[in-house]
Amino acid sequence: MSLDTFLYFAYGSNMLSRRMLARTPSARRVGLAALAHFELRWHKVSKDGSGKCDIVATPGSSVQGVLYEIAAAERPALDVAEGLGTGYREVQLEVRTVDGVRQALSYQATNIDSFTKPYSWYKALVVAGAKEQGLDAAYVETLEAAPSWDDRNSQRAAENLR
């Protein structure tokens, strides 16, 4: 890693490489990573009213994800895509990789509702990314088991699943 790049821990839909590359074309997969003592929740309230992924400090839990190296010049685009200041805040985390502990940027929700659920198309993106990246099968099963609902806006659903 150089001064012109940063490490980013993706735990939601950005695990899917085509989605990540559409947002930050320089993104290069470093490898899998785990965030100890955190739990994945789907309670971040999105602009469309559905739930998006979030990480919540929870002793004994772990969130699996992907570590990317991204050009620093693309940081503003990632901030916008992630809703920095409008639903997420920046966090610096220590994640475990096969090469040891690394410091990485990620985002944590500021607008949450424990009763919200993700749209089925969003959950499908998260699950597809987890499978593409080779996350643990049991972890993928927990993602697949998350309750979701169908988006009434079929055009939005179709666009996101493309």
**145 backbone dihedrals φ, ψ, rounded to 5°:** -80, -10
Q: Helix, strand or coil for residue 116?
A: coil
Catalytic positions:
82
Which tokens hold the place of 49? 């009213």
Q: What span, in angstroms and rounded, lies between the C-alpha atoms of 151 and 153?
A: 5
Count Cβ atoms below 10 Å from residue 90 Cβ, excluding itself: 13
**Residue at 108: amino acid letter:** Q
Q: What span, in angstroms and rounded, lies between the C-alpha atoms of 78 and 7?
A: 12
Q: What span, in angstroms and rounded, lies between the C-alpha atoms of 55 and 40?
A: 5
Please work out, in degrees rounded to the nearest 5, the angle formed at the alpha carbon of residue 39 by the alpha carbons of 48 and 113. 35
